[in-house]
Structure 1
Amino acid sequence: MILAKKIRLYPSQLQEQKLWQSVGTARFIYNWTLAKQEENYKNGGKFISDNELRKEITKLKKSELSCLKEVSNNVAKQSVKDACDSYRRFFKGLSDKPIFKSRRKSKKSFYNDNCKLKVKEGKLVNIEKVGWIRTNEQLPTGVKYSNPRISYDNKYWYISVGIEQEEIKEELTDVSLGIDLGLKDLAICSDGIVYKNINKTYVVRKLDKKLRRLQRQVSCKYENNKKGKEYVKTNNIIKLEKQIQLMHRRLANIRNNYLHQTTTSIVKAKPYRVVIEDLSVSNLMKNKHLSKAITKQGFYEFRRQLEYKCKFRGIDLVIAGRFYPSSKTCSQCGEVKKDLKLKNRYYNCKCGLSIDRDLNASINLSNYKLA
């Protein structure tokens, strides 16, 4: 099984300029590919293969885009492949239509050829057309790397590579663990363990408040410096926007780290199977009163992490049907209460059962499709 390894880089000032040049090239070629595909579609043409577009870029390097010679050849080639793959996923109905990458909003990253990525002892890694860069820890040597990517998270540079690792073979218990995701708490397990909502903690609420304050300051400064219909970006606005970026980064890291701790704790309990619901997050987001809270919870990321961690440890992950009434079904007698509302936090049944609705849902999920 291939697992990712992400390590921080310590580039020099000159190397950082070259890294930014590669990031700009990757974004430019991605947008160029999308523009080509859309123009071809409007003219009634068929989908252009990435091989044809790569050949066209090779020709452009000799004339109009000679600046591309300063960065690795694989940066442009992989950007073309990424854009074409995005369109293929769109045609298959697996994702939305790809959009152009913004310099300000898009993820700052680029590809490095795995064959040309060199690692040596002493915490050093060689990136093509950039040179040897010191790393935070030693990358494994003598192994095959897959899909190396260099990225920037508004503060530090990182390199991430996929490394083949053997799956863990261990004895599992006979427990079928049901997990109900929610907003009051992140996850409620059928064994009674509750993982709290980290967004309700003092630290996260304080950072959220500080973020809102900074955003209001930037908005006021834009309005005060407005000239006609144009907004003027002053040095103070640039400083505040940098602080906002770092605040978003810190909050994202806190939430992502908590999701990793939660999913790791679940798989370390060694159940033979884990059952979760197939949530339609896009439909849940239509509720304007809950959309912000749902976004912060990261239900998709929770499921993604749980999928690969269960697979790595040999645990079966079962996805319950989207319309399975886990909350409305009595976990004791099986009666379905169709008139159960969201405000009813306790499930009271005619059979005498009185239980928290989230715990009731997790127990029903643990029994999902069991003989």
Structure 2
Amino acid sequence: MILAKKVRLYPTKEQEQKLWQSVGTARFIYNYTLAKQEENYKNGGKFISDGIIRKELTQLKKSELLWLNEVSNNVTKQAVKDACNAYKRFFKSLANRPKFKSKKKSNHSFYNDSIKLKVKEKKVLIEKVGWIKTNEQIPICKYNNPRITHDNKYWYISVGIEVNKKQEKLTDISLGIDLGLKDLAICSDGKVFKNINKTKKVKNLEKKLRQKQRQISRKYEMNKTKKEGGRRCQFIKTKNIEKLEETTRLIHRKLSNIRNNYLHQITTSIVKTKPYRIVIEDLNVIGMMKNKHLSNSVRKQCFHKFRQYITYKSELNGIELIVANRFYPSSKTCSQCGSIKKNLKLKDRIYRCPHCGAIIDRDLNAAINLSMYKLA
């Protein structure tokens, strides 16, 4: 099993400049490849293989794109491969249509060749950048897919490392987990993991973020000027606006880290109970996001990440993970008599069974039903 190891980098100013250059190159080549594929498809041509595009770029390096020689050749190679794979996945209906990467919104990352990646005591060698200090020692072994990323504050290197699965004694408990908005996760054993977005710390950060965004909006309005002979306005970006935008990026980063850390804590504590199987529901998150009243709350809960973390942690610990059918009526079924209450509404937080008279919390009832999913 391959697990990711993420280590922080401490580059010098010169090295940081080279890292940003590699990030910009990866984005440019990705967009160039995507534009080639789009144009070719509109003209009725077949899919262009990554080898043909790489040959074109090799010729362009000698004439028009001389600056590509300042960056590692593996950055351009992998960017072409990533764009071609994204385009293939779209036509196989495995992913959405690939979009062009924006300088502001896209993730800042690039690929480093695993063969040319060298490691010694708290240092790592990145091609055409040099030896960079790290906060901890990276284990010396065979690496998979090394990526250098920037999270709006620090630089990191992520590598995939082969890890052996744990062989632990599991209990005879089948654990059902119901995900929701009131509480993040409700387990069939009675454990409730609260919604971290309702805590004071997160609410204060979100309030601060809204204030900073309003300040940016007001400053843009103050600095806008009309173009000569036209109705369109031109917005002038000042140093104060740049500082405020940097502050908002750091708040976004902090909120993301808080939610991510909470998900790791929850999934680890669930796996530590050592059930022989875990049952979760297959949520239609895209459909839930269409509800304008709930879309923001659904986005903040990060249901996809929860499923991602519980999946790999279950596999690592030898626990069977079962994803219940999307149309399985876990909330409408009575966990005591098995009858289905068809007229159950979203606002009904207490489940009252009309047949056996059972009264139970709606989410706990769903979690118990999931724990019994496909059991004889």
1:172 to 170, 173, 193: 170
Per-residue CA deviation, residues 47-100 of structure 1 (Å, 9 max, x unaligned), is 101111111111111111111110100000000000011011101111110010
- In structure 2, the residue matched to 1:321 is 325
Q: Aligned partners of 1:243, 1:30: CA distance in 2, in Å?
A: 29
Q: Aligned partners of 2:157, 2:132: CA distance in 1, in Å?
A: 10
Any idea what SS the aligned residue of 1:186 has?
Answer: strand
1:242 to 241, 246, 251: 246
- In structure 2, the residue matched to 1:206 is 204
- In structure 2, the residue matched to 1:93 is 93
Structure 1 residue 214: Cα displacement:
0.5
Alignment of 1:351-366 (within 5 A): 351-366=356-371
Any idea what SS the aligned residue of 1:230 has?
Answer: strand
Q: Aligned partners of 1:351, 1:42: CA distance in 2, in Å?
A: 62
Q: Aligned partners of 1:254, 1:89: CA distance in 2, in Å?
A: 32
Q: What is the TM-score with the length of structure 1 in the denominator?
A: 0.99
Any idea what SS the aligned residue of 1:52 has?
Answer: helix
Any idea what SS the aligned residue of 2:110 has?
Answer: strand
Per-residue CA deviation, residues 264-287 of structure 1 (Å, 9 max, x unaligned), is 111111000000000010000011
- In structure 1, the residue matched to 2:219 is 221
Q: Give the RMSD, CA atoms, in angstroms.
A: 0.5
Are residue 194 (structure 1) and residue 199 (structure 2) matched? no
Q: Please list every run of 5 or more consecutive structure 1 residues that lacks an aligned counterpart in the other structure.
A: none
Q: Aligned partners of 1:300, 1:37: CA distance in 2, in Å?
A: 30
- In structure 1, the residue matched to 2:139 is 140
2:303 to 278, 299, 306: 299
Any idea what SS the aligned residue of 1:187 has?
Answer: strand
- In structure 2, the residue matched to 1:185 is 183
Q: Aligned partners of 1:130, 1:29: CA distance in 2, in Å?
A: 19
Any idea what SS the aligned residue of 2:351 has?
Answer: strand
Structure 1 residue 131: Cα displacement:
0.1
1:369 to 340, 362, 374: 374
Are residue 230 (structure 1) and residue 234 (structure 2) matched? yes
Q: Aligned partners of 1:78, 1:56: CA distance in 2, in Å?
A: 15
Residue type of the alignment partner of 2:347: K
Are residue 64 (structure 1) and residue 68 (structure 2) matched? no
Residue type of the alignment partner of 1:291: S
- In structure 2, the residue matched to 1:337 is 341
Q: Aligned partners of 1:16, 1:281: CA distance in 2, in Å?
A: 38
Per-residue CA deviation, residues 97-116 of structure 1 (Å, 9 max, x unaligned), is 00100000000000000000
Residue type of the alignment partner of 1:367: M
Residue type of the alignment partner of 1:114: S
Kindly, what percent of the aligned residue pairs are identical?
Answer: 70
Per-residue CA deviation, residues 149-180 of structure 1 (Å, 9 max, x unaligned), is 00000000000000001000101000000000
Alignment of 1:120-159 (within 5 A): 120-121=120-121, 123-141=122-140, 143-159=141-157
Residue type of the alignment partner of 1:2: I
Residue type of the alignment partner of 2:339: E
